[in-house]
Copies of this chain bind each other. A is one copy, B any other.
Amino acid sequence: MAVAKTPTPPYYAVIFTSTRTDGDKGYAAIAEEVVQLAEKQPGFLGAESVRDVEKVGITVSYWDSLESIQKFKAVAKHVEAQKRSREWYSEFGLRVCKVEKDLFIE
């Protein structure tokens, strides 16, 4: 299942679009740690993540509220992720959104 099972809107999405630099530089282990932190965080609803052969990735995480996103941000600060983003990514964009409508087929 690539598509996250989210509840009826409204809820929140964080869209993280990035291009990875070459080489791992500790990325894989810390990315895994951040995912595990998110999954334990209250208000986490699910996530979708894709990276292509050109190292461009989009990860969308879903949350019940802006407060849960803020709290996760504070928790994630304690891992190296935010400090090392300039080593790991040649560019990134982070967008916080309110999901107003959705539609699914499977």
Contact = CB atoms under 8 A, between A and B. Distances in A.
Interface of A: 1-4, 6, 9, 13, 15, 17-19, 48, 50-53, 56-58, 60, 66, 85-86, 89-106
A98 B10 CA distance: 10
Given A95-B99, A96-B102, 4 more contacts: A2-B91, A6-B95, A50-B58, A97-B98
Contacts of A18: 2-3
Q: Which 5 A-B pairs have the closest CB atoms?
A: A97-B97, A3-B93, A91-B106, A2-B56, A58-B58
Given A18-B2, A105-B89, A95 B50 contact: no
B99 A96 contact: yes
